[in-house]
Amino acid sequence: MAILNITYNGLSADYPIEMDGRVSDADIKRIALEVVRSGEVPGLALPHLPAAAFDGFVIDRLQNGQRLYLRPKVPFGA
């Protein structure tokens, strides 16, 4: 069981996800879209989330892939 953390519009929430081997970034985005739309992610229920909501987002795979972070790109600092 891995934990997928989804960040959208400044809000973040965790969602447990069963993964059989490596799941592609595209599939993770598709899963995230579905579970956020369906209200399965506590604190992040957006039934009208646009299909392209996670386009341009990136996925960090930490702790040997047990922690996944779907988040906006963060290019800036200065």
Partner 1 sequence: MRIVILGVGALGSTTAVLCRALDATLVFVDFDKVESKNLLAQAFVKQSLGKNKAEALKAQLLNFYGTKAEAFGVRVTKDNVEQLTKDAGLIVDCFDNAESRRIVSEHARAKNVPLVHAAISGDGSFGLVRWDARFTPDAEDHAGQATCEGGEHLPMIGLLSAALARTIQDFVTKQEQRDSMVGLKSITVTS
Q: Which one, 20 or 75, has the nearer CB to partner 1?
A: 75
Nearest approach, Cβ of 19 to partner 1 (angstroms)?
19
Locate 35 and state its tokens: 């579970």
Interface residue with partner 1 among 2, 12, 25, 37 (CB under 8 A) is: 12
By CB under 8 A, residue 76 contacts partner 1: yes
Produce one character per residue of 3-27: b if its CB has 16 or more CB atoms within 10 Å, e if not: ebbbbbeeeebbbeeeeeeebeeee
Q: What is the DSSP letter of 57?
A: -
The residues of the shown chain that bind partner 1, judged by CB under 8 A, are 5, 7, 9-12, 56, 58, 60, 62, 67, 69, 71-78
